[in-house]
Amino acid sequence: MAAPPMMRMLAVIVPLASAKMSDFQVARFAEVQASAKAASAAAEPELLAVLDSGAFRAALAACCPAFAGESAASLLGTLVGEMGAAEICTGIPAGGGPDAPGSSWSTSMEDAELTEDLDDQWANRLRHNGSFAPSNASHSFSHWFAIQDDVEVGAYGLKPFATRGMPASLAEADERGSYALFNAVRSDACSPLYGNLTLVLEPEAVRPGLLVSAIDTGEWTALCNHTDASPAHGAVGDWHPYPHDCGAYDFSLGTLDHFSHLFLPNARYWAGPNATAEVVAAKLARTFRLLAEPWSAPIAGPELIHYWEAMPAMTLPLATSVRFAIASFPSLFGTDAGDELRSWCAARGWPLVWSLGLNTGREEQFFSIGYETALFNSSNRILDGTVSNASTLATPLPPTAALEIELAWADVLSVRATEPNVSNATWAAAWSNLAAATPPAARLAPVTKAAGCGPTCFAVDGTGACVCKTA
C-alpha cells in the first residue's frame, strides 16, 4: 500500500466579517419579512385543515406511524420546526467539470479561494471579464442572463441593473445573491445537481437577508414562462419529465422566520396539473416524512428538484457564512482538487464531510435527474478526521477517524492511477469499505430540530450525539 499523502496546509488568516447588505437590500428584506409574516399566518388555517384531512392522515399512517396520532397543530409544529432546521446549501464546482475555473459561469472552489466573499454568478463573471451578451440570437436560452435578471427583479424584487442582464460593476452585481436551496429531502450530498462541492450556510449569517421561494425560479422560467413558439414546448415528455402546475405558484416569498405559506404551493406545483386533494396531501406527507424522519426512505431523482429556493439578498463573507462543506467522494476523494479542498477547509475552520452522493456515473443536473429511475439511499456521510480536530470540534474525533481517511485516500489514489474511468460500482465498494472502518463518531446524519442540538452543531453522529463546532 502506498504511503498516505500529506495534506498541504495553507497559512491563511481570515478576518471575520458580517454579511454585507445595501440600503436597497435592507429595505427589500424588510418588505418581504412583513408580507411573509402576514401570509404565513393567513395560510395556517388551510394548512392545518390539510394536515387534519383523511388523505393526509392515511398517508401519514402508512409512512410515519409514530406521528399518526398527533394533532394537526403538533404536526404543523414539526413541519415548520424541521424545515427551519433544514440545511441551506449552495452547490459549486471544484477541480473541473462544466463549471470549471475560468468558465465564468458559476463560482468554483478555485474562484472562491481568491476572494473573501461567496460571489454570485454576476460577480464571478465580471471577475473573469466574461460577456453577458447573447451568444446565439436564435436560441432563447442564449439570453439567459436577461432571463435571470428578469427573475431576480420580478420574482425577488431585487434592484435592477442599469442595463438589463448586464451589470456594469461589482457594486451592481452585489445587489444580487448566490442561489441556494433548502435540503428538505435531507439529501446526503445536499446540493448534488449544482456542483461536486456543497457549502452549507450558517442560518444566522443569512437570516437577515434570506428570501425564500416555494420552487426553483429558474426552472419556472423554463417550464412555465418559456418563449418557444411550439404549443407543446412545456408538455411533459416533450423535453422534460416533470409534471407541474404553473398556476400553483403565486410568487409569494418567505423568510427564515415566516414560511408556512410556502408548503402548499410547493406541494400543489409538483403534484402536477389537475391534481386531486388526495395527491396534494400525499405530496405534503412525503415532505413531512423526509423532514421528520431523515434517511428513513430512499429519494427519487425528481424529488431532488422539489426544493425551496433560497436567495440571500446580501454579500456573504466566506469566513462567517459557511457552516461546513460536503464533497463528492467519487469526484474529489483522492484527487489534487480534493487535497486542495481539505487544505481550504482546514484553513477556514470548516468541517469537511464526504458523501457518496448520487453515484450514477454521470454529472447529473436539474434536467437530467428526472430521467433517473433508481432510488437513492441518501444516508452516506463521513466526517474527514484529517480536517476536523480538537481546535474545530467541541468533542474531538478518535484518532482512527483521521487514520481511516488517509488509508482510504491512499487506496483511492491507487485505483485512480490504474483505472482511468472508475465505475460507480467501484466507488460504492470503496465507500462501503471506508464506512465500515470509520468510527461511529465520524459517521454523520443531518441535524434535526428534534435532536435538540445547539446552534454550533451541524450533524448527529452514529451514536446519536450532536456533533458541534467549537464556539
User: Quick one: which of 291, 287, 307, 358 has its CA closest to 328?
Assistant: 358
Mean pLDDT, to the nearest integer, of 62-75? 96
* Residue in the structure block whose three cell numbers are 481511516: 404
Mean pLDDT, to the nearest integer, of 132-149? 70
Q: DSSP letter string over 227-283? A: --S-TTTTSBTTTB-----GGG----EE-SS--GGGHHHHHHHHH-TT--HHHHHHH
348 touches 230 (CB < 8 A): no
Which residues on adjacent β-strands are paired with residue 210?
A: 312
Q: Are strands 88-92 and 180-182 parallel, antiparallel or unpaired?
A: antiparallel
pLDDT level of residue 5 (50, 70, 90 thresholds): very low
Residue 139: pLDDT over 60: no
pTM equals 0.92
Taking the C-alpha atoms of residue 443 and residue 373, their distance in angstroms, rounded to an integer, is 28
Q: Mutual orientation of helices 277-292 and 23-51 as an angle, nearest 10°?
A: 110
Residue 460 DSSP class: E
Residue 230: pLDDT over 70: no
Taking the C-alpha atoms of residue 402 and residue 394, their distance in angstroms, rounded to an integer, is 16
Taking the C-alpha atoms of residue 70 and residue 76, their distance in angstroms, rounded to an integer, is 10
The reported pLDDT for the residue numbered 12 is 33
**Range scoring the smallest mean pLDDT among 9-13, 388-392, 420-424:** 9-13
pLDDT tens column, 150-202: 999 999 999 999 999 999 999 999 999 999 999 999 999 999 999 999 999 99
* Residue in the structure block whose three cell numbers are 442582464: 165
Which three cell numbers, joined as nine digits, stand for 427? 466507488
User: Quick one: which of 170, 211, 187, 169 has its CA closest to 25?
Assistant: 211
The proportion of the chain whose per-residue pLDDT surpasses 90, expressed as a percent, equals 77
pLDDT tens column, 208-225: 999 999 999 998 988 888
CB neighbours of residue 98 within 10 Å: 11
Which three cell numbers, joined as nine digits, stand for 203? 442560518
Residue 13: pLDDT over 90: no
Give the DSSP H or E segment for 161. Answer: none
Work out the mean pLDDT of the chain and round it to a whole number: 89
pLDDT level of residue 239 (50, 70, 90 thresholds): low
More confident: 235 or 453: 453
Residue 228: pLDDT over 50: no
Question: Residue 1 contacts by C-beta under 8 Å, 6 or more apart in sequence?
Answer: 407, 410, 411, 414
The reported pLDDT for the residue numbered 233 is 42
β-sheet with 444-446: strand ranges across: 444-446, 457-461, 466-468
Dihedral sign from CA coordinates of 463, 465, 466, 471: negative
Taking the C-alpha atoms of residue 181 and residue 255, their distance in angstroms, rounded to an integer, is 13
User: Quick one: which of 289, 307, 326 has its CA closest to 459?
Assistant: 326
pLDDT level of residue 236 (50, 70, 90 thresholds): low
The reported pLDDT for the residue numbered 134 is 74
pLDDT tens column, 409-462: 999 999 999 998 999 999 999 999 999 999 999 999 999 999 999 999 999 999
Residue 4: pLDDT over 90: no
187 touches 360 (CB < 8 A): no
Mean pLDDT, to the nearest integer, of 318-337? 96
pLDDT tens column, 28-47: 999 999 999 999 999 999 99
Q: Mutual orientation of helices 277-292 and 72-85 as an angle, nearest 10°?
A: 60
Mean pLDDT, to the nearest integer, of 298-309? 96
Residue 19: pLDDT over 90: no
350 touches 320 (CB < 8 A): no
Which three cell numbers, joined as nine digits, stand for 49? 385543515
